[in-house]
């Protein structure tokens, strides 16, 4: 019986040790797009040319380098319908770094608001 308890205890300690080394149940890996914070978002609607120029800043609030991310601007109508999208790919955003970016989007109708989203780059 003592051997069983010892083996069970050793297995439990090993499992806890592995969990702590791999992040103790963290919700995402370092350098993930979940670490990115978008701020200073503003946009300019050029009705004559039918484009919207989007300007924003992304900050890496995490502890790892975000190697590659697609920043997508989505134009929305007053009803929340998509009226156009475009994106820019950013690379190697270091922890604590704030990076400005801009995206020009062709508008397919009247624009009410703009949403900026960080997305994984398709492989």
* pLDDT for res 122: 85
Judge if 37 and 59 occupy the same domain: yes
Question: Residue 42 CB: number of other CB atoms within 10 A?
Answer: 10
Enclosing domain of residue 18:
1-27
* pLDDT for res 123: 74
Judge if 68 and 87 occupy the same domain: yes
Q: What is the pLDDT of residues 61-96, one digit of tens each?
A: 999 999 999 999 999 999 999 999 999 999 999 999
Judge if 76 and 20 occupy the same domain: no
Phi-psi region of 92 (alpha: psi -120 to 50; beta: other; left: phi over 0): left
Judge if 68 and 101 occupy the same domain: yes
Judge if 39 and 10 occupy the same domain: no
Tokens of 29: 């890996």
Can you list the residues of the chain whose pLDDT is less than 70?
1-28
């Amino acid at each position: 019986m003592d051997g069983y308890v010892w083996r069970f205890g050793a297995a439990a300690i090993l499992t806890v040790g592995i969990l702590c080394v791999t992040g103790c149940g963290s919700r995402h890996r370092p350098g993930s797009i979940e670490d990115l914070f978008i701020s200073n978002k503003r946009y300019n609607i050029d009705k004559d040319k039918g484009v919207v120029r989007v300007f924003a800043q992304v900050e890496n609030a995490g502890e790892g380098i975000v190697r590659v991310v697609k920043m997508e601007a989505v134009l929305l109508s007053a009803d929340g319908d998509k009226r156009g999208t475009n994106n820019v790919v950013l690379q190697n955003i270091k922890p604590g770094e704030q990076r400005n970016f801009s995206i020009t989007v062709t508008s397919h109708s009247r624009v009410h608001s703009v949403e900026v989203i960080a997305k994984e780059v398709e492989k």
